[in-house]
Each structure stands twice: as structure tokens, then as C-alpha cells.
Amino acid sequence: MKDLSLENETEIEIDLEEIYRSYPLPHADAPPATAPTPEAPDPAPATRAPARAAKASARAAKAPARAAKAPARPAKAPARASKAPARASKAPPAATQAHAPAGAGFHPAIAEIVARVKPAGKRELVGTTFARLLRVLDTLGVIEKALTRPQAVKVGFLFEEVRAQTASLLSHITEAVSGDARLGRDLRDVLDGMRFAIGHELAKVFCHEFPGIDAERDPAYSRADLSRAWGLLQNCLQQTAITLAQTFAPGVTGTQLFEDYRSKVENSFTLYRELNVLRQKVRAAERSNGILLKHSLVRHMEYFREETMHFLMYKDWGEFGRYVDDVKRAFEEMEEFERVLHEFSQYLSTLIHHVGMRQVLRNEAPPAGADERPGF
């Protein structure tokens, strides 16, 4: 991947074929391969047999006792010659070699899960579904790297690629759910749930919240908007991959499947803990008649906005920021301060509940040194 400077923008160039090579689709979607030419039998043992037989006859004329043993030696030649065709028959048939094995290129934990799926037809379906999911996540990973660069970036074509890859994934899942009666109820329900969740987030990002985000230039979205769109898609696809994996390995967690998942868990636990600390300070300020606790609260709210607010979902940033400004203004004027503080306390309780319902907090153990997982 390299940069092509374009005035004040940076255009990200990426070899998308590399992503496709990383997760080859097993069987039907794999490009055909040329079957190897079977190994030709080695004729040497057979052609040498008559020569040995002639020598044996000559020796027989000189020594009758030795001549009796000679016929046994050329008789071995056909048996040795027959081994070559046997070796050639061990070569896999063309139909087998034309496809990548299910699980090729996967994270070891995912490859192990796919390998355990039986029968072979179901294993093929699960492997192909994982391959498509991981392709989209790889493209989203490129978008994430682009958004962390200091220059302005053009990522419209990458979002278009994500949209096309995800639409292909949905088509694949729909065909599987509607076409194979041998899937089993559990897997069918999981795939149907994946189809609904992915379709919902795809429409939410590309049709409702960020229309035109996959265009080359207009309409232009801020880096925060692009990050929000990326986060919605990445979270949805990771969670669906985890759900599919748990169908066959119920104890598996996101941190075992994705290298970046641990940071998400740690950030969510940090956010949950800091929100609870903030709520405790709000309640202490509500009970106090003095000025110091109220002033300490205002300073802590500013600190939270600068250091921790970015762990909230992007859609919550604006509302949280407005509450911080309202509390600061009420503190300076000391008019309706109690009412504003009470409203903020109620808002915090609702926000803490929503954060506590995050999937990463429900399925993962707290990181070392963190508080216990949220209660439900």
C-alpha cells in the first residue's frame, strides 16, 4: 500500500487481490487449477529383468544347483514395475486439487474450528462463510489504517469494496439458508440471524446515516463520520464471526479469534468504570451543600470529556458534550444547578446501562486490574 499525493489529500492505493489471496474461498468459488500429470511408471526394472534372466541361464549351464534359483529372480521384475502405477494413483484427483482447503489462511483458532465441522459439506459452507467475512474485515482494516494518518484521505473506493464484498456475503448466506435442507436447525438459525444483522447495518451505514460514503468525493464526510461508519461495520462483522464460531465452539471468545479484540474489551471496561466514578461524583455533589465537591465535579467532567469520552459511541459524543457544557454553565451562574445535575445523573444511569450491555463486556473476562464485569 502506498500514498499518492493529491493536493492536500492522500489517496490510498491498495492491492485488493492480496486480501483475496489471504482468504481463498474453498471449492465452488476457487479458480480452477491444472491437475498434475500422473507420474509415469518406471520401466527400468522391467527392461532389466530379461538381462538378469539371460545371465541366470548362463550361470545355470555351469552350475545346475544355481540354475534352479535363477527363475525366481526375474519373477520379481513385474512386481517391482507394478509399484510405479500405484504411486501415480496416489496423486489427488483434479477436482480435489482445484480448490483451497476449508480453513486455508485463517487465524489458527478459526482454522481449528472449521476443521472440526462435520460432515464435509457443512465444513465447506462454514469455511467459505468465514473466508468472506474475513475478507471484508481485512478491507475494513485498511480503512482503519488510512483514517489514522495525519493527512486527509480518500477512502470512498474502499467503502465501495466493503459494500460489494458484504453484498456478496449476504447473497452467499441467503443461498445457503434457502437451498440446503441438511444444514440443521441451529446452523440455519445462526446464518439467518447473521443475514439480518449484516443487512441491517449495511442499510444503516450506506443508505440512512452516511449515504454516498462510498463515492469518490461528494458528499464529503469528516474523519469522525468515517470512523463512525467504519466502527459500525467492523463491530457487526466481528460479532457475526464470533457468533458463527461459537456455534461449533461454544467457549470461544473474541480475543481468541481477533488480535485487536482485547483492546476493545479493555477500552469498554475503562469506559464503564469511569462512567461509574463520574456518577458517584455527581451524587456526592447533589448531596453536598458546599462548593468544593461541585467544583471538583466540573473539573472531573472536563477531564472525562478529554480523556475517556472517545470510548463512547460516536453518536453519544454530542449529547454528552452538551450536558458537560450545561453543568459548567449552571455552576457558574448557580441557577438551576440542582435540576441540571439531576438530569445529568439520570442520563448517566441510562448511558451506563447501555455501555454495560455491550457484547464485549458480556462475553469477555475483565482485564487484569479491572473491576468486575457489569451486572445485568
Predicted confidence (pLDDT) per residue in 16-66, tens digit: 555 555 555 544 444 433 344 444 444 444 444 444 544 444 444 444 444
Q: Answer whether residue 369 shows pLDDT above 80.
A: no
Please count the helices (runs of H) and the strands (runs of E) in the chain: 17, 3
Share of the chain above pLDDT 70, in %: 66
**What's the confidence (pLDDT) of residue 22?**
55
24 Ramachandran zone, left/alpha/beta (phi>0; psi -120 to 50): beta
Between 82 and 288, name the one with better pLDDT: 288
In 3-state terms, what secondary structure has residue 4?
strand
Buried b / exposed e along 215-248 (16+ C-beta atoms within 10 A) = eeeeeebeeeebbbbbebbbbbbbbbbbebbbbb
Determine which of 55-64, 229-238, 276-285, 299-308 has the lowest per-residue pLDDT on average.
55-64
Pick 181 or 41 by higher pLDDT: 181
What pLDDT does residue 104 have? 52
Q: With residue 243 as reference, give the H or E element that holds it.
A: helix 223-248
Range in 146-155, 186-195, 341-350 the model is least confident about: 146-155
* pLDDT over 80 at 340, yes or no: yes
- List of long-range contacts for 306-312, beta carbons under 8 Å, 24+ apart: 308/270, 308/271, 308/274, 311/267, 311/268, 311/270, 311/271, 312/271, 312/351, 312/355
**Which residue, chain included where needed, has cell 467475512?**
133
Identify whether the C-beta of residue 172 lies closer than 8 Å to the C-beta of residue 126.
Answer: no
Q: What is the pLDDT of residue 41?
A: 45
CA-wise closest residue to 144 among 233, 212, 240, 246: 233
Neighbour order of strands in the sheet with 152-154: 2-6, 9-13, 152-154
> Which tens digits make up the pLDDT trace of 295-330?
999 999 999 998 898 888 777 888 999 999 999 999
Looking at residue 222, its pLDDT comes to 84
pLDDT band at 267 (very low <50, low <70, confident <90, very high): confident
pLDDT for 259 equals: 79
Least confident piece of the model among 31-45, 181-195, 216-230: 31-45
Q: What is the CATH number of domain 102-257?
A: 1.20.120
Give pLDDT, residue 206: 94
Write down the pLDDT at residue 346: 94
2 — phi, psi (to 5°)? -140, 165
Instruction: Give the CA distances from residue 375 to residues 78, 341, 362, in Å, rounded to whole numbers and listed in that order.
Output: 77, 25, 9
19/135 Cα distance (integer angstroms):
6
Give tens-digit pLDDT for 63-115.
444 434 444 444 444 444 343 333 333 333 333 333 444 555 677 889 999 99
CA dihedral 198, 200, 203, 205 (to 10 degrees): -80
Task: Please tell me whether residue 372 adopts helix, strand or coil conformation.
Answer: coil
Mean of the per-residue pLDDT values of the chain: 75
Which residues, at least 6 apart from 333, have a Cβ–Cβ distance to it below 8 Å? Answer: none
Whether the link from the prior residue into 119 is cis, omega within 30° of 0, is yes
Span between the terminal Cα atoms of the chain, in Å: 45
Measured CA distances, 317 to 323, 326, 357, 374 (Å) = 10, 14, 18, 22
Where is 13: in which H helix or E strand?
strand 9-13
CA distances (Å), origin 242, targets 14, 161, 162, 304: 27, 22, 19, 31
CA distance 159 to 214: 5
Tell whether pTM > 0.85: no
Higher pLDDT, residue 98 or 201: 201
- The stretch 225-248 carries a mean pLDDT of 90
Residues written for the chain:
376
Contacts of 273-277 with C-beta under 8 Å, sequence gap 24+, read 273/370, 273/371, 274/304, 274/308, 275/348, 275/351, 275/352, 275/355, 276/352, 276/371
Residue 203: pLDDT over 80: yes
pLDDT at 97: 33
Residue 263: pLDDT band with limits 50, 70, 90 = confident
Ranges 4-13, 26-35, 277-286, most confident: 277-286
pLDDT at 334: 81
